[in-house]
Amino acid sequence: MNGMRQSKSKPVKKRLDELETVLANTQAALQMSQMMVKHITNQLSALQADVGGLMGMSNDFQYRTLSMLELGNFDKKAINAKAEEFKLADFNQASDKEDASKGYVVDPTGVINEQSIVLISSSTPDTEEDKGIFRSKFSMTEVSTPELREKLIGAKVGDSVEVDIQGTRHVVSILGLRLKKVEEENTQEQQ
C-alpha cells in the first residue's frame, strides 16, 4: 500500500497454537482461583463458628458477672472505678508503646497545632448514661470535622471544649499532646 511494505501476518496454525496455550493457561489460573476462593470460604466458615462460640461464652460470662455483683452485694461504684483504673493502665501502656514505635515525643508547647497528635477523653453530661470517649489518640491531620478542628486548634493541655458529635454534646478534655520526633528536630534546626 502506497509503497510501504506490509509485515507478514503469522500463519493461522501458529496463531491457533498460541490461542490454545493462552486458553490452557487461563483455565489453569481459573482453577487455581477457584481453589483459593474455596479455601478462603472454608477458613471464614471456621472463623464464623469460632466467633459464634466466643459470643456465647462472652454472654455467659456477662450474665454470671452480673449475677455475682447482684448476689455479692458489692459496691458497684468501687468496681466501676477499679475497672476504669485497669482500662487506663492498658491504654497508657499501648499509647507509650505506640509513641516509641512511631517516634512520638511529648510536645513541650502544650498547644495544639496542625501537626499535633492529641490525646483526649470526653463525657456526655446531657445523657443519662455517659456515652463519652474513654480515651482516644489521633493526629490533627486526620480530623475531618470542621467544628472539632476549629475548637481544638490553639487549645492547650488541660483545656476542655464542647462539640456536637453525631447529635450528642461532648465535653472533650485535652489530656496530652505528642509530636513526631523528626518534626521536633527540624524545628530546632530552623531556630
Query: Is residue 178 domain-resident?
Result: yes
pLDDT of residue 77: 87
Question: d(Cα 143, Cα 174) in Å, to the nearest integer?
Answer: 15
How many other CB atoms are found less than 10 A from the CB of residue 170?
24
Query: Is residue 2 domain-resident?
Result: no
pLDDT of residue 131: 87
Q: Please say if the pLDDT value at position 187 is more than 60.
A: no
Question: d(Cα 184, Cα 191) in Å, to the nearest integer?
Answer: 11
Which of 131, 116, 65, 121 has the alpha carbon at shortest distance from 91? 121
Q: Please say if the pLDDT value at position 15 is more than 70.
A: yes
Query: Is residue 44 domain-resident?
Result: yes
Residue 160, Cβ density class (10 Å: 0-12 exposed, 13-18 middle, ≥19 buried): middle
pLDDT of residue 44: 93
Domain co-membership, 110 together with 66: no
Domain co-membership, 53 together with 82: no
Q: What percent of the chain has pLDDT over 90?
A: 65
Query: Is residue 3 domain-resident?
Result: no
Query: Is residue 134 domain-resident?
Result: yes
CA angle, residues 112, 96, 161, in degrees to nearest 5 = 30
Mind listing the pLDDT tens digit for each residue in 85-113? 999 999 999 999 999 999 999 999 989 99
Domain co-membership, 43 together with 100: no
Domain co-membership, 19 together with 107: no
Q: Give the domain-ending residue among 32, 54, 72.
A: 72
- Is the pTM higher than 0.85? The answer reads no
pLDDT of residue 2: 62
Query: Is residue 148 domain-resident?
Result: yes
Q: Please say if the pLDDT value at position 189 is more than 60.
A: no
Mind listing the pLDDT tens digit for each residue in 17-72? 999 999 999 999 999 999 999 999 999 999 999 999 999 999 999 999 889 888 88
* Element holding 62 (H helix, E strand): helix 12-72
Mean pLDDT taken over the chain: 88
pLDDT of residue 183: 46
SS3 118: strand
Question: pLDDT band for position 184 (50/70/90)?
Answer: very low
- Domain range for 95 is 76-190
CATH code for the domain of 102? 3.10.50
Counted domains in the chain: 2
Q: Give the domain-ending residue among 31, 47, 72.
A: 72
